[in-house]
């Protein structure tokens, strides 16, 4: 176990349980670094702060994991963290209309770089840290022990794979161990969220193949869709589109850069219409366009849409990208505000962790001013309770959203 002391004045956030420690805060490491291992962290005066995982090959050198001096950190400790995270989701396992949800939410569940989602009888894990890669056997083993899924799929987050030295090869685990079964032999996963059916393909799709974090927000947006002409921008495979159709939308125009995603969107509309989840004729209400969202929204007619959904991908991947991302968020929302009907509704989102809620709100205010419109915030949105926000780790509040009314 490494013994690490932090510089004087650098311990303030650490004793408040913020889990990240960067190189500038570290004063001394003993013994000299060889490989990732557990560490005991103390203040400059030698006072115990926490136990953590230290790895100089990681872009975050030190992750703090326990502030209990009597804790015995190790493999069993990690397995217990996985177990506790799963047990906190117990209510979801008894739901009849939702079989997809977040199982482990990274640092918010005290497991750095681990995002795990349940899709019916399968689990998909995205790892973004060397810690997660090191303890992958313990993580998958505990999931198998408690849930007995048919399959666990593990991928490395491409945003962090290079920085963390992680392989981007998709890995599969069955019956408690890794399998080398080819992807073409694996079956598509069908699951339900809020009574709507979805399907994802093993090894394919963005992130884990679906965005469970928008579940509550999709239900909220559905309530605004009745009789509306809807534009779903950055639709991906159409979850917001499906909810708008179920909510009684007059029409939905879905726009995404991926033609593959749009084809899958139409498949899922057919799937739900066949299962009588969507009204008959729902497919005829949908048009799809493969285009860059920022370019396309400029081409639409003014006063055509009653409801516009703006759910772009993460535009600020890091804090040093925030300024350009803020300009992009402002531009996208400004154009939407000028195009929408008077009194129309915009559901707008940011999933950039570096964009705080207050900054996002300020960005929307600037967009409204430039558009020459008044905007009312009707609802404030965030991720569901399976994506908890850890107060000692504000970075865990990455998804922010607002329901806006535009008054011209």
What's the chain look like in SS3? Answer: CEEEEECCCCCHHHHCCCCEECHHHEEEEECCCCCCEEEEEECCCCCEEEEEEECCCCCCCEEEEECCCCCCCCHHHHHHHHHHHHHCCHHHHCCCCCCEEEEEEHHHHCCCCEEEEEECCEEEEEECCHHHHHCHHHHHHHHHHHHCCCEEEEEECCCCHHHHCCCCCCEEEECCEEECCCHHHCCCEEEEECCEEEEECCCCCCCCCCCHHHHHHHHHHHCCCCCCEEEEECCCCCHHHHHHHHCCCCEEEEEECCHHHHHHHHHHHHHHHHCCCCCCCHHHHEEEEECCHHHHCCCCCCCCCCEEEECCCCCCCCHHHHHHHHHHHHHHHHHHHHHCCCCCEEEEEECCCCCCHHHHHHHHHHHHHHHCCEEEEEEEEECCCCCCCCCCCHHHCCCEEEEEEEEC
Give the integer Cα–Cα distance in Å for 269 and 248. Answer: 14
pLDDT tens for residues 154-168?
999 988 999 999 998
Can you give the pLDDT at residue 321?
Answer: 76
pLDDT tens for residues 339-392?
999 999 999 999 988 889 999 999 999 999 999 999 999 999 999 999 999 999
- Whether the per-residue pLDDT at 94 is higher than 50: the answer is yes
Domain 211-407 sits in which CATH superfamily? Vaccinia Virus protein VP39 (3.40.50.150)
CATH number for domain 2-66, candidates 3.30.70.100, 3.30.70.640, 2.60.40.2300, 2.30.130.10:
2.30.130.10
- State the span(s) of the chain assigned CATH 3.30.750.80: 76-185
- Whether the per-residue pLDDT at 129 is higher than 50: the answer is yes
The average pLDDT across 137-150 equals: 97
Residue 206: pLDDT band (50, 70, 90) is very low
The average pLDDT across 265-276 equals: 97
pLDDT tens for residues 297-326?
999 999 999 999 999 988 866 667 788 889
CA distances from 193 to 105, 232, 265 (A): 18, 19, 15
Tell me how crowded residue 251 is: count the other CB atoms within 10 A of its CB.
17
Which of 122-126, 238-242, 320-324, 398-402 shows the lowest mean pLDDT across its residues? Answer: 320-324
Give the integer Cα–Cα distance in Å for 167 and 158. Answer: 9
- State the span(s) of the chain assigned CATH 2.30.130.10: 2-66
Angle of helix 239-246 relative to helix 259-274, nearest 10 degrees, comes to 30
- Whether the per-residue pLDDT at 204 is higher than 60: the answer is no
Instruction: Decide: 384 and 212 in contact? Cβ < 8 Å.
Output: yes
Can you give the pLDDT at residue 74?
Answer: 98
The average pLDDT across 87-91 equals: 96
The average pLDDT across 269-274 equals: 97
CATH number for domain 76-185, candidates 3.40.50.2300, 3.40.50.300, 3.40.50.970, 3.30.750.80:
3.30.750.80
- % residues pLDDT > 70 (the chain): 96
Can you give the pLDDT at residue 205?
Answer: 46
Considering the chain, what is the average pLDDT of its residues? Answer: 94
More confident residue, 175 or 251: 251
Residue 188: pLDDT band (50, 70, 90) is confident
- Whether the per-residue pLDDT at 203 is higher than 90: the answer is no
- State the span(s) of the chain assigned CATH 3.40.50.150: 211-407
Instruction: Kindly tell me the sign of the dihedral angle through the C-alpha atoms of 292, 293, 295, 301.
Output: positive
* pTM to 2 decimal places: 0.93
């Amino acid at each position: 176990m490494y013994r690490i002391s932090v510089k004087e004045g650098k311990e303030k956030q650490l004793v408040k349980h913020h889990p990240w420690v960067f190189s500038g805060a570290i004063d001394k490491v003993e013994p000299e670094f060889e490989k990732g291992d557990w560490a005991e962290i103390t203040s400059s005066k030698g006072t115990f702060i926490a136990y953590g995982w230290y790895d100089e090959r990681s872009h975050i050198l030190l992750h703090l994991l326990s502030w209990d001096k009597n804790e015995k950190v190790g493999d069993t400790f990690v397995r217990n963290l996985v177990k506790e995270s799963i047990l906190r989701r117990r209510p979801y396992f008894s739901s009849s209309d939702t079989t997809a949800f977040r199982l482990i939410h990274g640092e918010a569940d005290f497991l750095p770089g681990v995002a795990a989602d349940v899709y019916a009888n399968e689990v998909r894990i995205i790892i973004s840290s060397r810690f997660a890669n090191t303890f992958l056997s313990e993580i998958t083993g505990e999931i198998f022990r408690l849930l007995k899924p048919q399959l666990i799929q593990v991928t490395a987050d491409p945003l962090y794979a290079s920085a963390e030295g992680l392989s981007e090869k998709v890995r599969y685990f069955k019956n408690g161990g890794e399998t080398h079964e080819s992807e073409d032999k694996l079956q598509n996963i069908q699951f339900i969220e809020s009574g709507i059916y979805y399907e994802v393909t093993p090894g394919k799709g963005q992130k884990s193949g679906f965005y469970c974090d928008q579940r509550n927000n999709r239900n909220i947006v559905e309530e605004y869709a009745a009789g509306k002409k809807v534009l779903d921008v950055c639709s991906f495979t159409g979850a917001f589109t499906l909810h708008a159709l179920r909510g009684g939308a007059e029409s939905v125009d879905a726009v995404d850069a991926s033609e593959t995603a749009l084809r899958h969107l139409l498949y899922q509309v057919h799937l739900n219409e066949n299962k009588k989840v969507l009204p008959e004729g729902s497919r005829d209400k949908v048009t799809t366009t493969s285009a860059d969202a920022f370019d396309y929204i400029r081409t639409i007619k003014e006063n055509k849409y009653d409801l516009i959904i703006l759910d772009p991908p993460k535009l600020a991947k890091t804090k040093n990208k925030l300024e350009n991302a803020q300009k992009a968020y402002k531009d996208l929302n400004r154009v939407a505000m000028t195009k929408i009907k008077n009194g129309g509704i915009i559901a707008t989102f940011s999933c950039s962790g570096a964009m705080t809620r207050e900054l996002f709100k300020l960005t929307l205010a600037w967009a409204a001013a430039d558009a020459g419109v008044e905007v009312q915030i009707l609802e404030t949105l965030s991720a569901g309770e399976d994506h908890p926000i850890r107060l000692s780790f504000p970075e865990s509040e990455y998804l922010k959203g607002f329901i806006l009314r535009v008054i011209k």
